[in-house]
Structure 1
Amino acid sequence: MGDQGFVCRGCGRRHEGLPFSYGAQAPAYWRDEFGSDERSLLEDETCIIQAEYYFVRARLVIPVIDADVDFDWGVWVSLSRDNFRRTLDLWATPGREQEPPYFGWLSTQLPAYPMDTLNLKTEVHTDRVGTRPHVILEPTDHPLAVEQRTGITMERVQEIAELILHSRA
């Protein structure tokens, strides 16, 4: 694919490298005050809020149709208590990728979409040990679901990069 740098339409400067992955550090529902709540826990791959809401970190993969690499959103997905426990029970179990998918709600607000991305219906697919689960969205007309089904172009990857680079400024 050659040089992945790009001239940003947001600031006019050249940025080295074009990121193909962005992720959220916590579910959208996490608040700093939960850090002192003994019923709440935020770890790298799992989150519990007030012993009532359960989340796992996952990958929402979008094919890039004019590149040899996929685009990845690092997202959080809510699971039922039973499915969360099952996920933890199988965490280090070889063959866990044979597990049927779990229902979940997307629990990450992604900045690159004109519509809210919270609470989109998902299937959470367990992958092999050492790999985060991946999420497949319900096939709706939401722009994120459409992109997951049909793919995006390198131009869209750059657009997302420009948006995220300048939303953090």
Structure 2
Amino acid sequence: MTDHRYVCSSCGKTHEGLPTDWGFKLPDEVFDLSYLDKYRRTRSNTDLCSLDESRFFIRGLLSIPFTHREGEFAWGVWAEVSKATHDFYLENYSNEMAQGTKASGVLANTIPGFPEITGQALDIAFQNSKSRPFFSFPRSAEHELAADQRDGIGHNRHHQFLELCGHFDESEA
């Protein structure tokens, strides 16, 4: 088996093993805007985003537990939420008492290999100020990624996630 290393896009350091997360910088609809439209129509930071002052997004983690080792693979994705949910997160970001508060939203990113789940319902659980909200699919969701979230994934599926994201193409270049 080949040893794997990768350069983390957050800290810039080289790490051993395979990445255990993959993130999206913006919701798809915002990312697809031209440079000037992004400037004119959006406000965003690494955790919150608004589009046309009428659509609101928060960034969180959609975690898939590993079955072959400790830990999980986390998709860093955006959820479109109501203005009330967006404002609650904004106002309670540092409030430890808000931890565990529940909300709902819909997935605002197309995850590679799973185009059919964009717009699917998400349950949101707010965490402490050091952790992004946790996103999960409702128990009634029947698509493949919801099953992965419920049942966990092994090494081969983890590897497949990274292949779908182009990780191995980039690391061998």
Output the TM-score relative to the length of structure 1. Answer: 0.84
Tell me, yes or no, if the aligned pair for 1:22 and 1:72 is still in contact at 8 Å: yes
Tell me the residue number matched to 1:5.
Answer: 4
Tell me the residue number matched to 1:150.
Answer: 151
Higher share in helix: 2
How many residues matched?
Answer: 155
Tell me, yes or no, if the aligned pair for 2:100 and 2:125 is still in contact at 8 Å: no
Unaligned runs of 5+ in 1: 7-15
Tell me, yes or no, if the aligned pair for 1:120 and 1:138 is still in contact at 8 Å: no
Name the structure, 1 or 2, with higher relative contact order (CA <8 Å, separation 6+). Answer: 1
* 1:1-150 mapped onto 2 (5 Å cutoff): 5=4, 17-30=17-30, 31-32=33-34, 33-37=36-40, 39-99=41-101, 101-113=102-114, 115-139=115-139, 140-150=141-151
CA RMSD of superposed structures (Å): 2.0
> Structure 2 vs 1, CA of residues 90 and 168 (structure 1 numbering), >3 Å: closer, same or farther?
farther
> Structure 2 vs 1, CA of residues 86 and 5 (structure 1 numbering), >3 Å: closer, same or farther?
same
Aligned-partner residue type, residue 163 of structure 1: L
Output the TM-score relative to the length of structure 2. Answer: 0.82
Alignment identity in percent?
Answer: 23
Deviation digits for residues 58-100 of structure 1, max 9, x if unmatched? Answer: 000000111111110000001101111111110111222142x
Tell me, yes or no, if the aligned pair for 2:67 and 2:154 is still in contact at 8 Å: yes
Q: What displacement does 1:166 show?
A: 6.1
Any idea what SS the aligned residue of 1:67 has?
coil
